[in-house]
């Protein structure tokens, strides 16, 4: 299904934001990154802005990226320079500006762990500002940019904090095991010789085994958030589910819950729960309608709720 918007604007320089007559733009105004985490269900009545600023600036142990820089290109650069920080976030689709909005994360690392500064245009004040990430109320796939700041700031650049010192995060998603299979020793004595490039390459191998290539099969990436539940709820779940203790409770992979409900590979019209990773809903035929995807989403949520008493929430933003 193809959708349209009332007006589309490409922001190619920060000065473009100063010349816009905001009051005359079709409302609402939405900032679009790579679009990898959006599900358009109908035509959009307002204005879509895409910030395509792709400048980059390096300092000793940080890197400032324009909001339009492809995030994985930044990850590749950092790893090639032997700098630690974003390697576990390799191959996550999207652009750098969106990383600060969504607090993207994977394999034990989140964007908030490496963001040092955010430059943005403040529509309320009509000027450019620098935002301290400590004020962004970052949480699991959320930030103030998605709540009380929504629509106020337009991010133009993100500065990431990097490190020359080895700081591998290996205890998530089978990273350590995958490294050992490759013959890479990851004991505490040898981690000092591990490189961010090796970790990045391993992360990419793991992701490619589990996730569809968006250039081949359409999807919006991880469709559901992994739920965090109280310990008493977790203790009632049979089957020894994989889990992680986090602030606020115990995180359970939504993929495990979905698979336990028999939805791995399930289809509704052109939509399908991906066979290799049930956290993902794909456009299996290339012709899935919004109703197909939303209907399958509802079936999954209802099934998990009925079986485990846990309500899944979509990570994908519905527009």
Phi-psi region of 110 (alpha: psi -120 to 50; beta: other; left: phi over 0): beta
Measure Cα distances from 193 to 15, 137, 167, 273 in Å.
Answer: 45, 35, 11, 40
Residue 59 annotated in active site: no
Strand order in the sheet with 115-122: 56-58, 62-66, 153-161, 115-122, 127-131
DSSP annotation of 151: T
> Which residue shows structure tokens 């820089």?
69
> 318 has which bridge partners?
39
Other CB atoms within 10 Å distance of the CB of residue 276:
12
> Which residue shows structure tokens 């999954």?
300
Q: Which of 141, 144, 207, 267 is catalytic?
A: 141
Q: Which of 200, 219, 222, 297 is catalytic?
A: 222
Tokens, residue 107: 């394999």
Alpha helices in the chain (DSSP H): 14-19, 71-80, 96-102, 175-181, 196-210, 231-234, 254-260, 290-308
Buried b (16+ CB within 10 A) or exposed e, 142-158: bbbbbeebeeebbbbbb
Residue 222 annotated in active site: yes
Residue 231 annotated in active site: no
Q: Which residues contact 128 (CB under 8 A, 6 or more apart)?
A: 14, 119, 120, 121, 122, 156
Tokens, residue 217: 């099969």
How many residues are present in the chain? 319
Q: Which of 14, 95, 110, 315 is catalytic?
A: 315
Measure Cα distances from 119 to 232, 250, 306 in Å.
Answer: 42, 34, 44
Indicate which residues carry an active-site annotation.
141, 222, 315
């Amino acid at each position: 299904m193809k959708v349209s918007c009332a007006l589309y604007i490409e922001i190619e320089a920060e000065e473009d934001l100063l010349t816009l007559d905001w009051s005359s733009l079709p409302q609402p105004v939405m900032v679009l990154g790579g679009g990898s985490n959006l599900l358009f269900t109908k035509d959009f009545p307002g204005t879509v802005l895409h910030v395509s600023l792709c400048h980059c600036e390096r300092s000793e142990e940080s890197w400032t990226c324009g909001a339009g820089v492809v995030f994985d290109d930044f990850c590749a650069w950092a790893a090639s320079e032997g700098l630690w920080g974003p390697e576990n976030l390799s191959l996550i689709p999207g652009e750098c500006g969106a990383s600060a909005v969504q607090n993207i994360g994977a394999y034990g690392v989140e964007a908030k762990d490496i963001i040092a500064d955010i430059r943005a245009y403040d529509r309320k004040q009509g000027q450019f500002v620098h935002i301290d990430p400590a004020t962004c109320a970052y949480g699991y796939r959320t930030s103030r940019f998605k709540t009380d700041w929504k629509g106020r700031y337009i991010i133009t650049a993100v500065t990431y904090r990097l490190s020359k010192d080895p700081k591998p995060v290996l205890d998530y998603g089978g990273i350590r095991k995958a490294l050992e299979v490759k013959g890479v020793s990851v004991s505490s004595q040898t981690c000092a010789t591990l490189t961010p490039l090796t970790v990045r390459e391993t992360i990419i191998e793991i992701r490619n085994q589990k996730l569809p290539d968006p250039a081949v099969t359409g999807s919006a990436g991880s469709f559901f958030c992994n739920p965090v539940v109280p310990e008493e709820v977790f203790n009632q779940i049979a089957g020894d589910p994989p889990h992680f203790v986090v602030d606020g409770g115990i995180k359970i992979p939504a993929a495990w819950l979905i698979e336990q409900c028999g939805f791995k590979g399930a289809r509704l019209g052109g939509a399908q729960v991906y066979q290799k990773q049930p956290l993902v809903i794909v456009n299996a035929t290339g012709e899935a309608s919004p109703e197909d995807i939303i209907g399958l989403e509802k079936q999954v949520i209802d099934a998990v709720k009925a079986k485990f008493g846990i309500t899944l929430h979509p990570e994908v933003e519905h527009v």
